[in-house]
Amino acid sequence: MDMTLENCRKFVEVLASDAPAPGGGGAAALVGAIGTALGNMVGSLTVGKKKYADVEAQIVALKQECDGLQKDLLDQVEADEVNFLPLARAYGIPKDDPSREKVMEEATIIACSTPMKIMELCCQAIDCIAVFAEKGSRLAVSDAGCGAVICKAALQAASLNVFINTKTLKDRETAQALNAKANGMLDTYCAKADQIFHTVKAGFGQ
């Protein structure tokens, strides 16, 4: 089921239930899309204003990029469910089944793929929001700050859905490579989101 086609209340209701999906990955994807949209809103409020004519072309290009990011992030809600369910089923294989370990290993790697993608998309969104915060309408700069911290939260949430799976991988080389990539994104982009937040906050004299 594509939960993004449901209303917000239904999504939250199913999220709170014992259904295997959506879970942390799907929630992170939705939150990332919301954060991206907040940055994009700053762009929408900038385009067409004479005061920002010198950056209009750049803002228009960023808005188009964010339109794509929003769609891609929303698509990850369903993708996370599709890629997690094989792992959920694999846990039901009897422990004495000789195929269990191989099936579990393959399913675990697949389950990592969507939260990794969510992380990558959130990083791209934070890059865009940094420009919206710097060059976009001053009347909406608080929304750029909000978008940055929301995308940071989505980035961090998605990472935990990577780490819980890499911990169980038998192939430690693959696990370490995934962990290194995830930690690299966290180190760079949590700091970047924090900088956006503090810069926006300082602009209010705080």
Q: For residue range 153-204, what is the model confidence (pLDDT) as tens digits?
A: 999 999 999 999 999 999 999 999 999 999 999 999 999 999 999 999 999 9
Check pLDDT > 80 for residue 1.
no
pLDDT of residue 4: 82
Angle at the Cα of 124 (from 121 to 126), degrees rounded to 5?
A: 110
Residue 108: Cβ within 10 Å count: 22
2 located within any domain? no
What letter does residue 53 receive in the DSSP assignment? G
140 located within any domain? yes
* pTM score of the predicted model: 0.95
Higher model confidence: residue 5 or residue 119?
119
Q: For residue range 8-46, what is the model confidence (pLDDT) as tens digits?
A: 999 999 999 998 889 999 999 999 999 999 999 999 999
In whole angstroms, what is the distance from residue 92 CA to residue 143 CA?
45
Contact (Cβ atoms closer than 8 angstroms) between residue 66 and residue 36 = yes
What does 91-124 look like in DSSP terms, one character per residue?
A: TTS-TT-TTHHHHHHHHHHHHHHHHHHHHHHHHH
Q: For residue range 117-133, what is the model confidence (pLDDT) as tens digits?
A: 999 999 999 999 999 99
State the residue range of the domain holding 100.
22-203
In whole angstroms, what is the distance from residue 47 CA to residue 56 CA?
6
173 located within any domain? yes
For range 83-94, the mean pLDDT? 91
In whole angstroms, what is the distance from residue 152 CA to residue 35 CA?
9
| Integer CA distances (angstroms), 162 to 10, 79, 121, 179, in order | 26, 14, 15, 8
In whole angstroms, what is the distance from residue 147 CA to residue 2 CA?
24
55 located within any domain? yes
57 located within any domain? yes
1 located within any domain? no
Dmax over CA atoms of the chain, in Å, equals 70
Domain total in the chain: 1
The domain spanning residue 71 has which CATH number?
A: 1.20.120.680
User: Mean pLDDT across the chain, nearest whole number?
Assistant: 96
pLDDT of residue 2: 77
180 located within any domain? yes
pLDDT of residue 148: 98
66 located within any domain? yes
